[in-house]
Structure formats: structure tokens, C-alpha cells
A and B are shown apart, each in its own frame.
Chain A
Amino acid sequence: MELDNIEKLLEKYFEATTTVAEEQTLQAYFSQKEIASHLEQYRPMFNYFSIAKEERYTKQVPLKPRRNYYKWLSVAAVVVLTFGIYFGNLYQIEREKEERERAAYAYQETKKAFELLAENFGKGTEKVAYLQEFEVAKQKIYNND
């Protein structure tokens, strides 16, 4: 590539009248090792452009499939609710049974306690019966007087 041509292209380049192809020629020229010393100052510019083109977007392209999860939400809710009601009921029944048993036990115990009390009362009346006997005897004695 003769120097003349490059200089002309450069001039056009700075007036922004070059085509893409011509600009590529310039880039190719400036990527050479040996270039005319008075053009050395433009080298960073063209080098930079070719380096800048190498930059890549390295992050993962973030495509979550935008599916609708909301419809599954209702299914999950129904499942939870069903289980809740089922086990809740079971628990309730269990508790009622337990309560009834406890009430029955309490009833039995109370009954026992009352029986004990009644027995002792029975004893009491027996003794009172003796007392009566004593009274009768006493009356007899008084009457004899």
C-alpha cells in the first residue's frame, strides 16, 4: 500500500467521507509493524478501534422462561388446605375422645369418693342405732323411778 494513497485516505477519513471498505484499508495499514514515522501518531486510534471491537459481553444471557407459576399456586393452596382440614379434624376427634375418657375417669373417681363417704356415713348411723338403744334403756330407768 503506497503512502500516498494512505495519506489521501486519512484526509478523507477525517472529513468522514471514506467508505467502510476504505476505513478497513486504513485499519489494515495501521496494524502493520512498520509504518511511516509521521503517521505513527495515528496508530493508537486505529489500534484502539480494532481492540474495542474485541470486547465481549461475557455474562450469561439471562433468559428465565417467563412461565406463569401462579396457576400452580392455587393447586398448592388446595393441597395445603385439604391436608389441613383432614389432619385438623383427626386431631379434633382425638381430643374429644381424650376429653370424654378423662371425664369418665373423673366421674369414676368421684363416685368412689362418694361411696367411701357413704360407707362412713353408714357406720355413723349404725353407731347412732346403739345410741338409740342406750336412750331406750335410760327411759326405762327413769320410768321405774
Chain B
Amino acid sequence: MKQAEFLNVVMPFKDKLYRLAKRLLVSKEEAEDATQEILLKLWSKNESMGEYKNVEAFAMTMTKNFCLDRLKSKQASNLKLVHSNYQDEKTSLQTQLEAEDSVRWMERIMEELPEQQKMVLQLRDVEQYEFEEICELLDMKPTAVRVTLSRARKAVRQELIKKHSYGIG
């Protein structure tokens, strides 16, 4: 496969890889590195790429595994992923007001979710994959996907209601 062909195949879903990586790793830099790594890995396999019937699904699964490995190794070495994507909103009034920003708030909520729920929510509600695709990507049973998704959505809802009724940030 030539470079141009490869790019044509990869371009449509490279953002999806990045967003999934960012969902899991949180840090922008880490996610960028992960995406780069995955793309390079795909490129090194480009000769056998014709054999995969769904390159996108394959790449997504690779990304998932890569990020989970990354998280595991970080936890094992007792290191936190360093990220500076959001500021600590407790420091000043200015940032406290910014915390009102619902997007940032949602981001915080999403960060709190367990990895499995994060992934399912990301794949379904952001990327709008069908259930069968998610099953394939995450190697899960359809019922498990449904349950996880429902739990994730409800968890988000609960946090939102909490915030909505008490207005705490």
C-alpha cells in the first residue's frame, strides 16, 4: 500500500482514534502521542492491511488496548498522568466562574467514570457507533454493552442533577 492510499484509509478515522485516546488518557499530549504511535504501528503493518475487513475497527481496538496498557503501566509505577488541559477551578474567582462552563463540568464528570463506561459512552454518544460495532471493538457481549452504557449515562445524569439542584461546582 502506498503512502497516499494509506492516508486515504486512515484520515477518516484518525480523529476518532485521537478522541478515544484522549477520553482514556485525559491528557492532550498523551493522547497525541498514543495516536501517533497507533498510526505508525498501522503504517508498519500496511502490507497486511488489505486482509483486515475493517481497518477502522482494528485501529480503534488497537488504540483501546494501547491506552489501557499505558494507564496500567502508569498506575503500576504509581505515576499520575500529567495533564494541563483544565485548570484547578478553586484557585480564583475567575476560574470558579469558568467552572460554571458546562462543557468543562461534563469533562470532569466523564473523567470520573470507570474506563469501561468511558469507552462505551465515547463510542456510542460521541462517535455514534452501532451496538454491534462496539461489541466488536471492546470485545464485549451486547447485553454487557447495554448495561455499561445505561450505567454510564445514569451516572452522568446523577452528577448533572446534583449540580443542577445544588449548583455546586
Residue positions of A touching B, CB distance < 8 A: 13-17, 20, 23-24, 40-45, 47-49, 51-53, 55-57, 59, 61-63, 65-66
Contacts and interface: CB of A to CB of B under 8 A. Distances in A.
Interface in B25-51: 32, 35-36, 39-40, 43-44
B6 interface: yes
B7 A63 contact: yes
Interface string B107-146: 1001000000000001011111010000000000000011
A61 B126 CA distance: 23
A44 B103 contact: yes
Contacts of A63: 3, 6-7, 39-40, 43
Contacts, number: 84
Given A16-B145, A48-B103, A55-B18, 14 more contacts: A14-B154, A16-B153, A23-B125, A41-B160, A41-B164, A44-B160, A45-B156, A45-B157, A56-B18, A57-B14, A59-B35, A59-B36, A61-B10, A66-B43
Contacts of B35: 57, 59
Most chain B CB within a 10 A radius of its CB, from A14, A59, A61, A62: A61
Contacts of A49: 125-126
Contact of B161 (A41, A48, A56, A59): A41
